[in-house]
């Protein structure tokens, strides 16, 4: 897909037409799925041997089982030559993410009822979480913080991280520094579908985890889809996306800069401007010459909001005369950036809310990564003899209606013995 010019939408907004214009690609029929399944099966059956094989094949790095885990010495060496301002910026970002995450803590609760029952929920952190961080030609230290810090706040006992090695076999030093600042417990120099499979099933060297989080390419995403059920995952993230709601008061330079910034992520990254200003649309159309840009001109901002809710973007920026007034009308979105001085980059790096967000319209039913993704809840049920006696008739009526006589009997026998 390339910039289609200005798309003029007048009258009633047609959901099917907007979805066609956005043209997101589904993972369902991805040809790479066959390759991913072969890799996942091999790692599940052969462990380290398969991991090493695929690391040599795809990353062109030869490893032995002893090389898989990054040593403390390598982490110390990574700090050499790293500017102090980078470490300071990472530390500030970590603190902001931690502060925001503290507000997401899920607390246990109990309540006693007058009918002789006590009910509640127990909340426990996951025991071990695996974090996948892209590597190789690019480094994403910010993603280390976004995945690890909420898990730490949740109380996860052990966090392991997998990251592809560079051509010399080392892990990017910026990523290693971020991992130490975030307090990752163990780091392994493997990437791709083989890393996901290793964390999902465990190998002779890499421990099995309870949940896998973190972004990755199509092979990583499909691998997460393949292992889901045997292990938890955060989400199936697609290409990054931003939708900008802007009226005639918006600064065209800001709008264009944010659309171009989005295009840096990936050739498939989606940058959408929805506006009721012909002047702004024409200015952006002349200056934004990147793949997957969409400029949608609507009759009014009410229609713009309707388009935004159909798209359900990962990031949404509001650059209008009164941006805060529009927030309550946005129903489907990963993160909202309010006003001209709140670009997506602030959320990507420093603000505190997580930058791991639902993509591909999944904001209709899912949420950003957070502390709640790293805990599990168990229901608590306690009935006294009198409480069960009061409830027994209704329970037995419902059980017998479903043909589950044994269920009814399990209640009835207790009531009789307590009389």
What does each C-alpha distance from 388 to 200, 380, 413 come to in angstroms?
Answer: 42, 15, 11
> H or E element: which one contains 130?
strand 128-132
Q: How many CB atoms lie within 10 A of CB 236?
A: 16
Of 306, 315, 317, 355, the catalytic one is 315
Phi and psi torsions of 331, nearest 5° = -100, -30
**Chain centroid offset of residue 194 CA:** 20
33-233 CATH fold: Rossmann fold (3.40.50)
Q: For residue range 206-241, what is the model confidence (pLDDT) as tens digits?
A: 999 999 999 999 999 999 999 999 999 999 988 999
* Rounded Cα–Cα distance for residues 256 and 263 (Å): 11
Q: For residue range 31-86, what is the model confidence (pLDDT) as tens digits?
A: 899 999 999 999 999 999 999 999 999 999 999 999 999 999 999 999 998 999 99
Domain ranges in the chain are: 33-233, 238-365, 384-418
* Residue 135 pLDDT: 86
| Residue whose token pair is 């993603």 | 143
* Rounded Cα–Cα distance for residues 237 and 362 (Å): 9
**Model pTM?**
0.94
Strands 241-246, 315-319: parallel, antiparallel or unpaired by DSSP? parallel
* Residue 28 pLDDT: 65
HEC secondary structure over 245-277 = EECCCCCHHHHHHHHHHHHCCCCCCEEEEEECC
* Residue 139 pLDDT: 85
Tokens of 62: 């030869």
pLDDT-based confidence at residue 114 (cuts at 50, 70, 90)? confident
- Tell me, yes or no, if 265 is annotated catalytic: no
* Rounded Cα–Cα distance for residues 378 and 67 (Å): 39
Judge whether residue 21 has pLDDT over 90. no
On the CB side of 81, CA atoms within 13 Å amount to 7
Three-class secondary structure of residue 379 per DSSP: strand
- Tell me, yes or no, if 419 is annotated catalytic: no
**To the nearest whole number, what is the mean pLDDT of the chain?**
95
238-365 to CATH, choices 1.25.40.80, 3.40.190.10, 3.40.50.1980, 3.40.1080.10: 3.40.50.1980
* Rounded Cα–Cα distance for residues 326 and 318 (Å): 8
Strands 117-125, 109-112: parallel, antiparallel or unpaired by DSSP? antiparallel
* Rounded Cα–Cα distance for residues 376 and 370 (Å): 13
Shared fold status for 33-233 and 238-365 = yes
Q: For residue range 238-283, what is the model confidence (pLDDT) as tens digits?
A: 899 999 999 999 999 999 999 999 999 888 899 999 999 999 999 9
Of 314, 317, 355, 402, the catalytic one is 314
| Residue whose token pair is 């589950």 | 404
pLDDT-based confidence at residue 22 (cuts at 50, 70, 90)? confident
């Amino acid at each position: 897909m390339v910039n289609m010019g200005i798309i003029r939408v007048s009258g009633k907004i047609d959901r099917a037409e907007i979805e066609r214009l956005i043209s997101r690609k589904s993972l369902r029929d991805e040809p790479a799925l066959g390759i991913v399944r072969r890799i996942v099966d091999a790692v599940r059956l052969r462990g380290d041997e398969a991991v090493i094989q695929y690391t040599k094949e795809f990353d062109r790095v030869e490893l032995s089982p002893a090389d898989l885990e990054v040593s403390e010495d390598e982490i110390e060496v990574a700090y050499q030559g790293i500017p102090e301002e980078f470490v300071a910026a990472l530390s500030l970002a970590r603190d902001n993410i931690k502060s925001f995450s503290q507000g997401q803590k899920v607390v246990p609760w109990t309540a006693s009822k007058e009918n002789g029952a006590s009910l509640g929920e127990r909340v426990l952190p996951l025991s071990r979480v695996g974090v996948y961080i892209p590597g190789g030609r690019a480094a994403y230290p910010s993603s280390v913080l976004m995945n690890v810090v909420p898990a730490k706040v949740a109380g996860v006992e052990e966090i392991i991280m997998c990251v592809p090695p560079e051509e010399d076999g080392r892990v990017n030093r910026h990523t290693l520094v971020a991992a130490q600042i975030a307090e990752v417990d163990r780091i392994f120099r493997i990437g791709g579908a083989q890393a996901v499979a290793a964390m999902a099933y465990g190998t002779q060297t890499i421990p099995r985890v309870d949940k896998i989080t973190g972004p990755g390419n199509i092979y990583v995403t499909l691998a997460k889809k393949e292992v889901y059920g045997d292990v938890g995952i955060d989400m199936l993230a697609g290409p990054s996306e931003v939708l900008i709601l802007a009226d005639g008061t918006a600064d065209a330079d800001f709008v264009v800069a944010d659309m171009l910034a989005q295009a840096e992520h990936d050739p498939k990254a989606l940058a959408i401007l929805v506006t009721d200003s012909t002047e702004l649309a024409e200015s952006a159309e002349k200056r934004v010459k990147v793949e997957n840009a969409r400029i949608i001109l609507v009759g009014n901002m009410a229609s713009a909001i309707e388009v935004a809710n159909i798209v359900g973007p990962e990031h949404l920026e509001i650059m209008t005369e009164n941006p805060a007034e529009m927030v309550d009308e946005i129903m489907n979105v990963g993160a909202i950036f309010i006003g001209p001085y709140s670009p997506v980059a602030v959320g990507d790096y420093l603000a505190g809310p997580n930058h791991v967000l639902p993509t591909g319209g999944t904001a209709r039913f899912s949420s950003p990564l957070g502390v709640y993704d790293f805990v599990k809840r168990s229901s608590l049920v306690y009935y006294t003899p009198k409480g069960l006696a009061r409830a027994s008739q209704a329970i037995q009526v419902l059980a017998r209606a479903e043909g589950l006589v044994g269920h009814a009997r399990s209640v009835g026998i207790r009531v009789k013995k307590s009389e």
